[in-house]
Copies of this chain bind each other. A is one copy, B any other.
Amino acid sequence: MSSRVLAAELSRHVGARVRVAGWVHRRRRLKSVTFVVLRDRSGFAQVVTSGAAPPEETVVEVRATVSANPRAPGGVELTSPVLETLSAPVSPPPFDLYRPVLPALPTILDHAPVALRHPLLRERFSLAAAAVRGFRSTLDALGFTETHTPKIVASATESGANVFGIDYFGRPAYLAQSPQFFKQALVGVFERVYEVGPVFRAEPHDTARHLAQYTSLDAELGFIEDHHDVMAVLREVLAGMAAETGGVTVPERIPEIHFAAALELVGADPREPDLAPAHERALSEWAVREHSSEFLFVTGYPMAKRPFYTHPDPARPGYSNSFDLLFRGLELVTGGQRLHRHEDYVAALGGDVSSYGDYLAAFAHGMPPHGGFAIGLERFLARLLGVANVREVTLFPRDLHRLSP
């Protein structure tokens, strides 16, 4: 028998006898005929049969004739079919996968292995793959090297809180909250590195924005002047991601506002050390109104609210060479310039470097001025698609309550 034809290719085979395969997406029995909508990875095909048809989610192989029918989806339908069942379901799906409206989120999450087959959900994760492809291809073209770093680490040194403990051959160890220390050390090796991988946060709160595991798109680059060089690379990365996903326009130059000016703009107390969610929303609206941009860089966050490795602003004491990128009202990316001199790390750590020995090793041997950023893939998708909860754009979410499926 000839090789399998995908649903999306059928219009090129009008008049021919073909073999297709997929799932029975929907079965509609009328008086004299039954319509079977077949689903495969490329799309849908309508099969018209006068015989019996198996129930939804049955996996079938169909040998049939491709007939033109302007009223059928894609302009063709499959006639005179011979259906063979490859795999029969033992029970109906938890909800009708062919209905255009999704059920409530808990139903989706509880039944993810089947629910994800819904075309609306599947499409989200095709977009996730496209976004990551855009991230990588942009950085590959800019001379970055992809790396794979340890997810098991000896100490919880980056933030100290919200880490998962592991029994590592009888010794305590932790799941990495980010590849931060590794990507900085690797700037000393490759100058420009990126990593796409899981990061882990033992987030004890049940929020719409936090997961115990998410996919972090990390980049770090050396020989920068300051954080603006990092922001320029981030702009290229976002444009590369948007080129693959569609759904958003990244301006040639993303507008920028200093943290102090941002506080003033939203009418907040100038002594506030951070932006509240309402401030972020107001600033995003301002960027759309004043700069026609759905993205906004807020730069120069106070040193007090940034990690110890943040580079200060040499011109403005108390402020840092850091940034957040707001996208449609929420923080999407955090980044900035890092310290690069060994003595600056020793000072920043208050001289207590005992638990940072491995981290500081790279800085003891010459590190260029550098910086980087991390994009949360799920946050990007949630904002891009306008869904409220990051769980809606995570295949199998892990959180305070959910460890399966």
A182-B396, A405-B358 known; A122-B190 Cβ under 8 A: yes
A198 B122 Cβ-Cβ under 8 A: no
Note all chain B residues with C-beta closer than 8 A to A21: 223, 368
B113 A403 Cβ-Cβ under 8 A: no
Measured between alpha carbons, how far is A173 from B402 in the docked complex, in Å?
11
A169 B395 Cβ-Cβ under 8 A: no
* Contact residues, A153-194 vs B (CB, 8 A): 153-154, 164-169, 171, 173, 175, 182, 185-186, 188-192
Is A213 part of the binding interface, using a Cβ–Cβ cutoff of 8 Å?
yes
Interface size on A, residues (CB 8 A): 91
Selected from B23, B167, B204, B403, the residue in CB contact (under 8 A) with A165 is: B167
Is A125 part of the binding interface, using a Cβ–Cβ cutoff of 8 Å?
yes
Note all chain B residues with C-beta closer than 8 A to A274: none
Give the most central of A113, A117, A126, A343: most B CB within 10 Å: A113
B362 A113 Cβ-Cβ under 8 A: yes
Q: Interface 1/0s, chain A 36-58, versus B by CB < 8 A?
A: 00001110000000000000011
Please give me the residue from chain B that is nearest to A369 by CB atom. Answer: B86
Q: Interface 1/0s, chain A 89-110, versus B by CB < 8 A?
A: 1110100000000000000000
Q: Interface 1/0s, chain A 215-247, versus B by CB < 8 A?
A: 100000001000000000000000000000000
Note all chain B residues with C-beta closer than 8 A to A154: 403-404
A151 B365 Cβ-Cβ under 8 A: no
Selected from B4, B90, B362, B365, the residue in CB contact (under 8 A) with A342 is: B90
Note all chain B residues with C-beta closer than 8 A to A90: 342-343, 364-365
B88 A403 Cβ-Cβ under 8 A: no
Is A14 part of the binding interface, using a Cβ–Cβ cutoff of 8 Å?
no
Is A10 part of the binding interface, using a Cβ–Cβ cutoff of 8 Å?
no
Of A128-136, A276-284, A297-305, A328-336, the segment with at least 4 beta carbons within 8 Å of chain B is A128-136
Q: Interface 1/0s, chain A 58-96, versus B by CB < 8 A?
A: 110000000000000000000000000011111101000
How many identical subunits does the complex contain? Answer: 2
Is A34 part of the binding interface, using a Cβ–Cβ cutoff of 8 Å?
no
Give the most central of A198, A359, A369: most B CB within 10 Å: A198
A114-B361, A182-B396, A396-B149 known; A58-B223 Cβ under 8 A: no
B41 A190 Cβ-Cβ under 8 A: yes
A147-B129, A198-B148 known; A117-B188 Cβ under 8 A: yes
B152 A125 Cβ-Cβ under 8 A: no
Measured between alpha carbons, how far is A212 from B188 in the docked complex, in Å?
25
Interchain Cβ contacts under 8 Å between A and B, 30 examples: A4-B223, A41-B191, A57-B365, A59-B366, A86-B340, A87-B341, A87-B369, A89-B366, A90-B342, A91-B365, A93-B365, A113-B185, A113-B358, A113-B362, A114-B188, A114-B361, A116-B189, A125-B190, A126-B190, A148-B215, A149-B395, A149-B396, A150-B398, A152-B403, A165-B166, A165-B167, A166-B167, A169-B204, A186-B395, A361-B405
- Show the binding face of A for B, using Cβ within 8 Å: 4, 21, 23-24, 40-42, 57-59, 86-91, 93, 111-114, 116-117, 122, 125-126, 128-129, 132-133, 140, 143, 145-154, 164-169, 171, 173, 175, 182, 185-186, 188-192, 196-198, 200, 202, 204, 212-213, 215, 223, 340-343, 358-359, 361-362, 364-369, 377, 395-396, 398, 400, 403-405
